[in-house]
Amino acid sequence: YDLSVLGVGGGSGAAVPYEQSRDRGNVVLKIGDANRTVSGKQTYVIRYAIRNALNPFTDHDELYWNVNGTDWPVPAQQVSATVSLPAGGIRRVVCYEGPLGSTAPCHSSSTQQAATFQSTRTLGSGENLSVVVDIAKGVIVTPKLDLQAPQRSVNSLPTMFSTSPTMLAATVFVFLAGLVFIAMNWYQRGRDHVYLTNYYLSNDPREEVRPLFRGQTIAPEYEPPEKLHPAEAGLLLDESADPKDVTATIVDLAARGYLTISELPKHFLTKQDWSLAKRKKDTGNLAAYERLILTGLFKSGDEVKLSELKGKFYTTLQDAQTALYDDSVKQSWFVGNPRRTRQGWAILGVAVAIVGALLTFGLGLGLGAGLIGIAIMLIGFLLVPFSRAMAARSAKGSDLLQRFLGFRMYMLTAEKDRQKFAEKEGIFSAYLPYAIVFGIVDRWANAFRGLDARAAGIAAWYVGTTPFNAASFSSDLQSFSSSLSLSVASTPGGSGSSGFGGGGFSGGGGGGGGGGSW
């Protein structure tokens, strides 16, 4: 349409100042004087001319017009319109009121020369009055209809993001639908499974998805469940094989006699370092991931400094993590491979975000509906962190997790029952790797303060630069663990963890628009 504003007047007919501009393809009138405040009832008459407003059909011409538009944020107590022709020709009329898409009728009456329309009620925010007038063919000369969509480009971004009530509602709907999609998939696929009955009493292997809000009773376990190793406990705890689990495995291999760890003297301006020395040659009793770790540590010789592993161990770390995940699947601890499950959902999130970005420009340039694309893009971004919640334990895995939490509970009682724990030979050394996984090294070491290195069981595999003291050893071990985690996960050139009839409705005509105060 070609719209020309002819002027703005007050109720008395006197001209009123105004400013005209364009926003998102709409003509905007800013009426009044910025330095003058008005109050009470005010009347403004806007005179404008429209070219190509009639729709030509084979048997008649038609005026289909939105009177007030759907973009008013305030209600309208009454909306009315009058259509007059200089010569007779009006054959029939109809009107609609309500939100966009409404087919509710409003009051209308007509003669051959004039038609009047009026709303039947107060129209709320976003509600509109649309009128349709059937005009006899030939009464008005109608040029060929020339509808032109607003020209949009990346240089006029505001026109790409319509903020009409309809568009905002559609955007919110798409975003909420995406959130429902995420929630439903987690509800159906991301929750852990549990046994229907106590498996150890009934031997009943049937399982179900854990009901929401069902609590679990943790009973103390006095040794690692099923004699599983620390890395396996770590994987069950957080569904992830991470560098901390590899660190605990190396300490566990040392405690089991496969290597020794020696703290090297620290000199001025040098970082603390440790030496690892291989002891046992036979690795037949080790799990696949343990064998990979031990072989990776000593592939250049039987002794290596921790600092020398930096940038060289990362491929071994990845292989060991893969072996640990594969072993967990063979043991049926998870519904599917946790890493592949997370990767699949993360890839889906990236794909959805890319589609959303493309739709932002496609819908924005074509329809001004770029906000819908942004909503889809946000759902894609949310899917990436959400992927971590999609790995689900099997009933067997959930049961083992519960038992490991019981074992952690038992280890946490060590501070209270120091004497009882101190009497168990080698228990400090044997369970220390689990303390690393559980994050309770300080509390575990504190329970054994006063013991010497031999009584604690570490003399055979750890050599420090000072006499053994549980508190200082805890600090040294955490420093070793931190350095080891950085070394094993660092890649060449950097550092950090690796990882991967009908037809008519309100708002359907031309014209319309909206307004507000300023």
Sequence ranges of the domains in the chain? 1-51, 54-148, 219-336+392-489
Kindly give the interhelix angle for 230-238 and 243-255, rounded to the nearest 10 degrees: 160
The top-scoring range by mean pLDDT among 51-60, 283-292, 462-471, 472-481 is: 283-292
Q: What is the spatial distance between Cα 231 and Cα 241, in angstroms, rounded to a whole number?
A: 7
- Range with the lowest mean pLDDT among 64-68, 348-352, 457-461? 457-461
Contact indicator for 501, 340 with CB cutoff of 8 Å: no
Give the per-residue pLDDT at 355: 95
Q: Is 96 exposed, middle or buried (0-12, 13-18, 19+ CB in 10 A)?
A: buried
What ranges make up the beta strands (E) of 24-151?
26-31, 44-51, 54-56, 60-66, 80-84, 90-98, 104-105, 107-110, 114-118, 128-136
The stretch 331-336 carries a mean pLDDT of 91
90-98 and 128-136 strand pairing = antiparallel
Stretch among 214-223, 433-442, 449-458, 505-514 having the lowest mean pLDDT:
505-514
Match 């009026």 to its residue by tokens. 118
Least confident stretch, 150-154, 171-175, 318-322, 502-506: 150-154
In a 10 Å sphere around its CB, with 0-12 CB exposed, 13-18 middle and 19+ buried, how is residue 37 labelled? exposed
Q: Please give the structure tokens belonging to residue 130.
A: 């649309």
CATH 2.60.40.2430 given to domain 54-148: yes
Rounded average pLDDT over 66-72? 86
Residue 117 — pLDDT band, cuts 50, 70, 90? very high
- Distance CA(449)–CA(421), nearest Å, equals 11
State mean pLDDT over 191-220: 74
Determine the pLDDT at residue 294: 92
First to last CA, the chain: 27
pLDDT at 422: 57
**Cβ–Cβ under 8 Å, residues 374 and 432:** no
Residue 497, pLDDT score: 39
Contact by Cβ (8 Å): 8, 44: yes
pLDDT (average), residues 289-314: 88
Residue 288: the pLDDT is 92
Spell out a b/e string for 305-319, using b for 16 or more CB atoms within 10 Å of the CB, else e: ebebbbebbbebbbb
**How far lies 212's CA from each of 193, 209, 271, 461, in Å?**
11, 9, 49, 46
Q: Between 196 and 361, name the one with better pLDDT.
A: 361
In sequence order, what are the residues at sequence separation of 6 or more whose Cβ sits closer than 8 angstroms to the Cβ of residue 320?
241, 246, 249, 289, 292, 293, 296
Give the per-residue pLDDT at 203. Answer: 65
Binned at pLDDT 50, 70 and 90, residue 229 comes out as very high
Q: Residue 212 — φ and ψ, nearest 5°?
A: -60, 145
Between 120-129, 180-189, 352-361, 473-482, the lowest mean confidence (pLDDT) is in 473-482
pLDDT at 145: 52
The reported pTM is: 0.62
**Residue whose token pair is 């724990």:** 421
Identify which of 1-5, 256-260, 265-269 has the greatest average pLDDT: 256-260
Determine the pLDDT at residue 400: 92
What are the start-end ranges of the E strands in 99-146?
104-105, 107-110, 114-118, 128-136
Q: Coil, strand, or helix at residue 310?
A: coil
362 sits in which H/E element: helix 338-367
pLDDT bracket for residue 43 (50, 70, 90): confident
DSSP 89: -
Interval 367-415: pLDDT, tens: 888 899 999 999 999 999 999 889 999 999 998 999 999 999 888 886 5
Q: What is the pLDDT of residue 498?
A: 36
Question: How many angstroms separate the CA atoms of 447 and 422, rounded?
Answer: 8
- Least confident piece of the model among 76-90, 160-174, 416-430: 416-430
Query: Do the Cβ atoms of 122 and 75 come closer than 8 Å?
Result: yes
Degrees, nearest 5: CA angle 341-342-343:
95
pLDDT (mean) for 127-135: 91
* Residue with more model confidence, 210 or 67: 67
- Name which residue leads in pLDDT, 468 or 181: 181
Q: Residue range 248-277: average pLDDT?
A: 87
Tell me, what's the pLDDT at 314? 83
Best CA proximity match to 93, nearest among 47, 134, 144? 134
Distance between CA atoms of residues 43 and 10, nearest Å? 6
pLDDT, average across residues 176-188: 93
CB 114 within 8 A of CB 90: yes
Point out which residues pair with 27 in neighbouring strands: 22
Least confident of 11-15, 119-123, 171-175, 420-424: 420-424
Mean pLDDT, residues 430-445: 87
Mean pLDDT, the chain, whole residue set = 82
Tokens at residue 23, please? 């926003």
| 467-477 tens-digit pLDDT | 777 667 777 77
Q: What pLDDT is attached to residue 172?
A: 94
